Amino acid sequence: MANYKSARQRKNNQKNLPLFRELQKKIGIQFENEQLLFQAFTHSSYVNEHRRRSYEDNERLEFLGDAVLELTISQFLFQKYPTMSEGELTKLRAAIVCEPSLVQFANKLSFGSLVLLGKGEEMTGGRTRPALLADVFEAFVGALFLDRGMESVYHFLENVVYPKINDGAFSHVMDYKSQLQEFIQRDGTGVIEYKVMHEKGPAHNREFISTVALDGEALGVGVGRSKKEAEQKAAQEALNKLKGM
C-alpha cells in the first residue's frame, strides 16, 4: 500500500518535475531523494485538499531548516568578524535570517513558482505572501541538509546568502566600527588600530579623543564622552573618507 501511495504521489508531481529539475540545475545541486525536495515546497493548504493522498507538508522541514540556518550563518559571521562582540553578531545574524531577508533569497530563486498550494491559498495570493516564502526557504534548507548534508548547505549559502553579506547588504544594522572592518575586508586586508590620543575633564564629564589607523596610516578622529563613542565617531569619519564622501 505504501509503495502504491508513493508511486501515485510521484505521478502527481510529474507536472512540477521540470521546474524542480531546473532549480537543481540552477543551484548546482542534485537531490538524491527528490521527494524531500517536493515536500519542502508543499504547503499545508495543499495537503488539506489532498487528504486521501500521502502528502506531507513542509512544516517539519521548516523547523529543521531554521536551526540549520542559525548555525551556518552564526559560523560564517563568527569567522568573518573575529573582533565583533556577541551582541553585534546576534544583531547581524537576526537581520540576515529575518523574514524580509529570507523572502529576498527565495525570490532570487523563484521559489514562489514552485510552491504546491491549495486552491484557496492560491486565490488569496499565497504564492507571494512573505511569511510563506520565508518558510519555504527554511524548509528547502532543511531538506537539503537531510538529503546532502551540511557541505551542500554551505555550498548553497555560498552562492545565495554569503555574497549578500560580503557586499554589505546588512551593514545598516552594524555599528561604524563593524562597518569599517567589513569595508576593509571587502576591499583588501589590513590591520585596524584604535588609540585614545587625549582625555580631559572631570570624571563625571570626561571627554575622549580617539583615532583610527589602517596599517599605521591615520584615517579618522573622533571625540566622545566615552572611549567607545570616540572610536565610533573615528570609524565613521574613516568610512566617509574611504568611500569618498
Tell me the per-residue pLDDT of 58-84, one tens digit each, with 9 for 90 and over.
999 999 999 999 999 999 999 988 878
Mean pLDDT, residues 148-169: 93
Whether domain 175-242 has CATH 3.30.160.20: the reply is yes
Q: How does the average pLDDT of the chain come out, rounded?
A: 87
The residue with cell 523547523 is 63
**What pTM did the predictor assign?**
0.74
Model pLDDT for residues 106-153, shown as the tens digit of each residue: 999 999 999 999 888 888 888 999 999 999 999 999 999 999 999 999
Question: Would the CATH topology of 2-172 be identical to that of 175-242?
Answer: no
Cell numbers of 99, please? 523574514
Tell me whether residue 215 is exposed, middle or buried, using C-beta atoms within 10 angstroms of its C-beta: 0 to 12, 13 to 18, 19 or more. exposed
Q: How is the chain split into domains, by residue range?
A: 2-172, 175-242
pLDDT of 8: 44
Cell numbers of 35, please? 521527494
Query: What percent of the chain is modeled with pLDDT above 70?
Result: 91
How many angstroms separate the CA atoms of 197 and 169, rounded? 33
Residue 54 has pLDDT above 90, yes or no: no
The sign of the torsion formed by the CA atoms of 57, 99, 177, 162 equals: positive
Model pLDDT for residues 171-206, shown as the tens digit of each residue: 778 788 888 888 888 777 788 999 999 998 887 788
Positions annotated as catalytic residues are 66, 138
| CATH H-level superfamily of 2-172 | Ribonuclease III domain (1.10.1520.10)
pLDDT of 13: 53
